[in-house]
Amino acid sequence: MITAVIGTQAMAGVIVTAKTQSDKDLVASKMTSYYPLDLTLDEARATYQSDVPCAGSIPVAFQAFLEGNSFEDVIRNAISVGGDSDTIASMAGAIASVYYKDIPDDPVVKTLTYLLDDLRAIFTRWQSFVG
């Protein structure tokens, strides 16, 4: 349970930092205050196996963000690792969505057509936060 609390705090802290800082080194510094980032994505791809606890998946999501150059690149990085890639991509994407301002509208609009009303409402609330 403590690991989940730390993971939640890490994600929230990093998202706020990514929203307010344009320097990735400052975002990386916030990330390393929670978890060590001691593997590149290439190294993670070779060794990563689905790891449900936060301590295994959050650092990979952080690294996917750090090695990405755009929102789409971050998502591709996260998925390329394998394992629990949907979770990793959702975490990396949450960070990238506040950091990058170049998120294409077409995939977002298309994705929204697949969501149930309650999930679309969550997305709308998220959009009001990230502005």
Q: Is 35 helix (H, G, I), strand (E, B) or coil?
A: coil
69 and 115 share a domain? Answer: no
57 and 32 share a domain? Answer: yes
76 and 127 share a domain? Answer: no
Q: How far apart are CA 98 and CA 13, in angstroms?
A: 12
Chain segment 68-77, per-residue pLDDT in tens: 999 999 999 9
Mean pLDDT of 12-32: 95
41: which 2 tokens? 């994505």
Q: How far apart are CA 111 and CA 117, in angstroms?
A: 13
65 and 90 share a domain? Answer: yes
Question: For residue 110, what are the domain limits?
Answer: 103-131
From 32, 43, 31, select the one nearest 92 (Cα to Cα): 31
Q: Give whole-number Cα distances, 55 to 4, 44, 99, 111, 120, in Å.
A: 9, 14, 23, 29, 29
- State yes or no: pLDDT of 2 exceeds 80: no
The total number of structural domains in the chain stands at 2
115 and 70 share a domain? Answer: no
94 and 107 share a domain? Answer: no
Chain segment 52-67, per-residue pLDDT in tens: 567 778 999 999 999 9
pLDDT of residue 52: 59
Mean pLDDT of 45-56: 72
pLDDT of residue 89: 94
pLDDT of residue 77: 96
Mean pLDDT of 90-111: 86
pLDDT of residue 28: 95
59 and 70 share a domain? Answer: yes
73 and 17 share a domain? Answer: yes
- State yes or no: pLDDT of 1 exceeds 60: no
128 and 65 share a domain? Answer: no
